Structure 1
Amino acid sequence: METKIWVVDNIEDKSQFYPQISQAAELLRANEIVAFPTETVYGLGANATDTAAVEKIFMAKGRPSDNPLIVHIAQLQQLEEIATDIPAFAYKLMERFWPGPLTLVLKTKGKISEKVTAGLPTVAVRMPNHPVALALIQECRLPIAAPSANLSGRPSPTTAKHVYDDLNGRIAGIVDGGETGVGVESTVLDCTEEIPVILRPGGVTKEEIEQVIGKVRIDAALEDKTATPKSPGMKYTHYAPKSPVIIIEGSRTFLQHLVDEQRKNGMKVGILTTEENKDFYQADVVLPCGRREDLHTVAAHLYQVLRHFDETDVELIYSESFPVEGIGSAIMNRLKKAAGYQVIREK
């Protein structure tokens, strides 16, 4: 399959006609799959109402079939066509955070393919805050199911090149809208319970949500890897580069000591760190991932740095750890998944 690429990296006025958007939308209406940018990562889109179209996503990514997909919409009317029994607090969250990186899990009306919902009675929906994504969804006039546009298990894509590297020849097209902004996926919030539950931390923090609707809970599986996650997809390893990742909870000196021991044994070691600490370390490859004083910059560059390690010859990657407040919760969630929960703590 030839993967077409359309460059639309300067869209501001959504009312303006963009032939690239129209061509991509035509493929989506024809039940092909197309990658497109959102404010978080690139998504791999398909007509959410057509099972055959959605199956192409799972085939292209190598994604497990019990892993539900998020449906992307551009207008509130689309939500009310696919979800039911929407609680009042969900509308408050939409007013505050939509369009934006917040996915709401609601009861489904049954109009979305069961391949999207993995046979569950719920559907996960969000409205992306990206002009290209919104223009594409509006143009094709369909709810679009879209997981991240990468091979299953790999770091999520934050540029069109990342998508191309993983999926060239597997998908119909890529809409290149430039580099994404938030860098980690949306927060997923289960709104079907009296007290909402965060199933996946992401671009909207727990603290921000609670400012709008009060107390929310965190799925136990996010803090206890032995617990059964409420969201089936959270049980899988994600975001991993080719070399193993180990998270270090401790001082810079402790991390450097671990690196030195591995290098004495002939191992080529990489370090994932921050701008503040990059000059402290001695290793085969040292890659800064944003600034520790602004964790949003770490989130924005995390996947890009994990993919960058694949372009080096390192055999092991040590990563600094980060505070779990605010966006740090999403960063550590992704890092732990990438590391297969391998953590070394300084005693």
Structure 2
Amino acid sequence: MKRRDIMEKIETKIIKVNEINPEEELILEGAKFIKEGKLVAFPTETVYGLGANGLNEEAVKEIFVAKGRPQDNPLILHVSSIEDIRPLVKSVSKEAEILMKKFWPGPLTLLFKKSKKVPNIITAGLDTVAIRMPNNPIALGLIKNSGMPIAAPSANTSGKPSPTSADHVIEDLYGKVHMIIDGGSTGVGLESTVLDLTEEIPMILRPGAITLEDLQSIIPNVEEDLSIIKNSNDIVPKSPGQKYRHYAPKADMLVFVGDVENMVMEIKVQAKEFISQEKTVGIMATEETKDRYGQGIIISVGSRKNMETIGHNLFNTIRLFDQKEVDIILAEGVELSYIGTAIMNRLKKASGGNIIKV
């Protein structure tokens, strides 16, 4: 397949697939597209992925064109069984075996030393490759029936909030990909945890639903990369989501961290000031605080008592503020523990590092 011009429109086929019991003939149709070197957007349990044959360099190039993605940003290979990874890597450690049996299929990506079979475009020229097995019957069926690992970053325009529904994919990539499989809303709503097992100390490069605390129960010496919390535009990314601003709304965004009472008070002060400047203000509140703001466009992202709801709703909430054309988003932060670390990592990226301690 020849690399197409970025402005060229292509016909996008949209198919609706049962998210619990996927229709075999529809999955086979999607797998045929993958085999032909075409792009297929599909649901996983985390976010929607933009898939191509992970062993076909020309097909993978199309991912970067469709998304407008920098080529120094590595991709993740998706497999349908543990055995699928062995031709793709130099070796599999005992730690990796334990983690795969515990968390796969699921939202955990592992970094291995790559074999020669993996194209350099997948790894941005690095000697490591990121691999995971998604916990979604549509994704697993697509991978299995295509007979190859599928390279799949999030199915959105690069830099925008990750897609958690087919509508989000259509908004960003219609006319740029060959097929969009509509499998309903994703469950987790945040991209997978990425864990580097290639160094002496296991290192979380991107936090997700499999948390530091989860991993420490199995490998106690695991640590988190400093880029998770700190701004890191000068690093060489070993994992998606490390270097560039991601998940960004059209509006500016400020994220407030600290005591909940202090956050509410400061957001109310800031909202009043921005409104006095005739700006449209969006407030990303929680179920516990949404009724305490008298001004602005207020959207609850979820409950502090069930942080998974915040993760599930985060990207959709950012897109809702885009639809409402706000000028500024004032967002409540969450505690840096368990899935809260992943949520704050995404808010840091979405805001370009505009974090205000109160």
Check conservation: 1:47, 1:142, Cα contact below 8 A. yes
Query: What CA distance in whole angstroms lies between the structure 1 residues aligned with 2:230 and 2:299?
Result: 29
Query: What CA distance in whole angstroms lies between the structure 2 residues aligned with 1:241 and 1:230?
Result: 22
Alignment of 1:6-155 (within 5 A): 6-12=15-21, 18-155=24-161
Alignment of 1:299-318 (within 5 A): 299-318=311-330
Corresponding letter in the other structure for 1:246: L
* Match in the other structure for 2:304: 292
Q: TM-score, normalised by structure 1?
A: 0.96
Per-residue deviation, 1:195? 1.5
Per-residue deviation, 1:8? 0.7
Percent of aligned positions that are identical? 45
CA RMSD of aligned residues (A): 1.3
Partner SS state of residue 292, structure 2: coil
Partner SS state of residue 195, structure 1: coil
Q: TM-score, normalised by structure 2?
A: 0.93
Return 256-265 or 141-150, whichever deviates more.
256-265
Per-residue deviation, 1:255? 1.2
Per-residue deviation, 1:224? 2.7
Return 257-266 or 320-329, whichever deviates more.
257-266
Per-residue deviation, 1:2? 1.1
Query: What CA distance in whole angstroms lies between the structure 1 residues aligned with 2:66 and 2:294?
Result: 39
Partner SS state of residue 246, structure 1: strand
Per-residue deviation, 1:284? 2.5
Return 211-220 or 290-299, whichever deviates more.
211-220
Query: What CA distance in whole angstroms lies between the structure 1 residues aligned with 2:315 and 2:116?
Result: 34
Check conservation: 1:40, 1:180, Cα contact below 8 A. yes
* Match in the other structure for 2:250: 242
Corresponding letter in the other structure for 2:243: K
Per-residue deviation, 1:232? 6.0
Q: 1:258 aligns with which of 270, 290, 308?
A: 270
* Match in the other structure for 2:184: 178
* Match in the other structure for 1:166: 172
Query: What CA distance in whole angstroms lies between the structure 1 residues aligned with 2:315 and 2:185?
Result: 12
Check conservation: 1:284, 1:314, Cα contact below 8 A. no
Query: What CA distance in whole angstroms lies between the structure 2 residues aligned with 1:330 and 1:343?
Result: 15
Task: Extract unaligned runs of 5+ from structure 1.
Answer: none
Q: Kindly tell me the number of residue pairs found equivalent between the two proteins.
A: 343
Task: Extract unaligned runs of 5+ from structure 2.
Answer: 1-9
Corresponding letter in the other structure for 2:11: E
Per-residue deviation, 1:11? 3.1
Query: What CA distance in whole angstroms lies between the structure 2 residues aligned with 1:209 and 1:229?
Result: 24
Partner SS state of residue 20, structure 1: helix
Query: What CA distance in whole angstroms lies between the structure 2 residues aligned with 1:339 and 1:181?
Result: 24
Query: What CA distance in whole angstroms lies between the structure 2 residues aligned with 1:87 and 1:38?
Result: 26
Query: What CA distance in whole angstroms lies between the structure 2 residues aligned with 1:163 and 1:230?
Result: 25
After superposition, the Cα gap between the structure-2 partners of 1:115 and 1:230, relative to the gap in structure 1 and judged at 3 Å, is closer
Partner SS state of residue 158, structure 1: coil
Check conservation: 1:219, 1:230, Cα contact below 8 A. no
Query: What CA distance in whole angstroms lies between the structure 2 residues aligned with 1:232 and 1:297?
Result: 25
